[in-house]
Structure 1
């Protein structure tokens, strides 16, 4: 995260090429500490010491584990100031009290006891934190957590799929209002269990039931008349629903979405329901979904690896860009398909790997994207680590700050352009420029001096 008031200092704190002396001086400023604590890797002891001196307990709470050397961990553990000595443990305990956690290692470190002891702690908030963060707990511990008198502990013990609920405890847990929505989402259910959950009249349970991949056709049919848009969408995605019912259910939700229903919009666009079962059916059945009017089915089909060429051609020309993107991730996608998709839409992925990182993408074409009208496409030119300085200047003059930020991070950016980006009015651009390891030492010293450090 960028420090909005002093982005050069926060960026310099993250700069992997900044020498220890610069980092020590940065620790005297709030923005510098902000960047230092976001820095990757282990901090030099001198820098950690400076953070303790200037940042006190706020900094000490972040100096733990592999962030600091064993010697510095010992130094903090024996620090004469209890606020510094106990800062990390106090932070973890505060988060536990708020119902959050930082992982099992932090819990053990903060409370100074092994996980099995913490699972029996008198404080239910501690037991709930263990149930949430101790993923490989033994079966005996899980059984005790499932029988805990506090409903928050029982809920935390069943929120994740693993370690799960032993068969002999499922009936009892399905009757427990604290956990039944978690189990309704994934357990194979008998008809009697399904009917009891349905009769509970709980919206969260109903939505969980609708997404359960283990439901039988009869169970799915019992959910078809629900007024809840989320249930309708989940049922429409079931393998047990014929096309005409699927179309009807999705049309109802789409009509509600068009009238401004937030529940309908969430159900259609942001829910976790997916027709994942389609990946596992025989090829002949999968191919029948090439003509499905609902993009989510065609997108799931495009995640196959064994489709015939004519099916891939259809998917590569699909009217929905998300379907074309899914199809473009296959190992043997043609080069021209990747390039056409990138030029038309940029890279739809918010995560790595990008389309331009696909082995079949012609990396030599990246530079040609600099002149594209769409800024999403121009941005991908920066994936070329050897993009010439002239092109970087061109992108650095763009109105869109995301492009200037990309230039500020680029390894081939020249010193003069980097200097200009350091003064950019958008804090994120200046922060990235200061964090670039090609930043000259003279620029680092000037940033430090201008801050009076």
Structure 2
């Protein structure tokens, strides 16, 4: 995290080129310790020693596992201050009590027991934490968790469809109020089980059932009259619904959204359920959805990779940007299609790989993005590792801090430009500049001296 008051120190703590003597001096300052906590890899003993000398329990939380040497682990285990000695363990136990998911390796380290034993620990909160964290647990452990006397443990054990619920346990789980909503989303249901669930006066349960991918045509038909936008949209996405019924269901929800019903807005705009079954349908059946008026079907269709050329031509020109972006992720996307899409709309930075990282993307055009009007598009010029200095200087003068941050992180940056960004008024820009591995040792020592370290 960037220190708002001392961004150069927090950034320097993250710098992968910072030597251990720089880190030792940084450990004497809170902002420096904060930056060091964000570093990857093992910390040298001298650095850990300095952190223990100047830090507190908050600092010691990150000093555990392979991040430190066995000698330092022993040092911490024997430390006279319990706030430091128990920092990591207390943190993990606090997260467990607050039902915050934490890695299974961290649970084993904090509690000093293997996961097989933790799964039957006396504390129900700990057993639930194991259920949330141990994704690939054996079936025998899963059965033990399904039979747990505490409802929070059973609920945690059924949050995901893997490792799942054995067939002989489905009836019991579907009758259990603690887990039936979870289980109703993914286990195959008999007609009787479906009817029992739908008789319950529980909207969330009906929504879970409607999203179940194993429903029969008869079950979906019984959902059509449910007055719930989320159920209607889920039913509309079923493989068992014809085009006319699908259009009618969507029209009902659209009308509800127009009337201001928040549930309808959620169902249409914030609902992440998709007709995944379409990806497995025969090609002839999938092609019938090329003209579907509902975006989600065309978006799923565009995620397939075996469509004929005419289908790709139409999907590349779809009126919805989300569909065009999905189509552009296929292996054979033409370079001109990729460039046109990115130049017009930028990229989606939280989805990897980026479109500019597509093997067919013409990387030589990246530097031409610096003159585009959209700052989101200009930012993508920084994906060129050899971006020339004039381009970096142009982006460094942008009014948008995120563009200057991108320049501050670029490995082709010069000493002069890096020095300029170290003094940027935006703390995050200065932090990123100080974290750049291109920062010279003389600049690092100057930062330390200026801070009195």
What TM-score do the two structures reach when normalised by structure 1?
A: 0.97
Deviates more, 1:130-139 or 1:289-298: 130-139
What do residues 221-271 of structure 1 show as CA deviations (whole Å, max 9, x unaligned)? 111222222212111111111112212222232333344443223222222
C-alpha distance in 2 between matches for 1:255 and 1:13 = 55
**Which residue number corresponds to residue 420 of structure 1?**
420
CA distance in 1, matches of 2:3, 2:251: 46
Contact 1:10 1:32 in 2 (8 A): yes
Q: Say how many residue pairs are matched.
A: 453
CA shift in 2, pair 1:221/1:4, >3 Å = farther
Question: CA, structure 1 residues 63+260, in 2 after alignment: closer, same or farther (shift >3 Å)?
Answer: farther
How far does the alpha carbon of each residue in 1:271-311 deviate from its partner, in whole angstroms, 9 at most, with x for none?
Answer: 22101111111111111111011111111111111111111
- CA deviations on 1:107-133 (whole Å, 9 max, x unpaired) are 222222222332222221112112222
Corresponding residue for residue 306 of structure 1: 306
Deviations 1:375-415 (A, max 9, x none): 11111110001111111000111111111111111111111
- More moved, 329-338 vs 47-56: 47-56
- 1:66: which partner in 2? 66
Cα distance between partner residues in 1 of 2:367 and 2:85:
53
Any idea what the Cα deviations from partners look like across 1:306-364, whole Å, max 9, x if unmatched? 11111110011111111111111111111111111111111135222111111111111
Match of 2:77 in 1: 77
User: What SS does the aligned partner of 1:342 have?
Assistant: helix
- Stretches (4+) displaced over 4 A: none
Contact 2:13 2:36 in 1 (8 A): yes
Note the alpha carbon deviations across 1:69-124, whole angstroms, 9 max, x for none.
22222222222322222111111111111112422222222222222332222221
CA distance in 2, matches of 1:86, 1:244: 63
Indicate yes or no: 2:342 matched with 1:342: yes
Kindly indicate whether the alpha-carbon contact (under 8 Å) linking 2:42 and 2:68 is maintained by their aligned counterparts in 1. yes
Tell me the equivalent position of 1:36. 36
User: Please, what is the CA RMSD of the aligned residues?
Assistant: 1.5
Distance in 2, Cα, partners of 1:266 & 1:69: 50
Structure 1 unaligned blocks of 5 or more: none
1:139–1:267 distance in 2 versus 1, CA, 3 Å: same
> 1:25 is matched with which residue?
25
Is the alpha carbon distance of 1:107 and 1:245 closer, same or farther for their aligned partners in structure 2, counting shifts above 3 Å?
same
Q: Secondary structure at the match of 2:250?
A: helix
Normalising by structure 2, we get a TM-score of 0.97
Deviation, 1:40, is 1.4
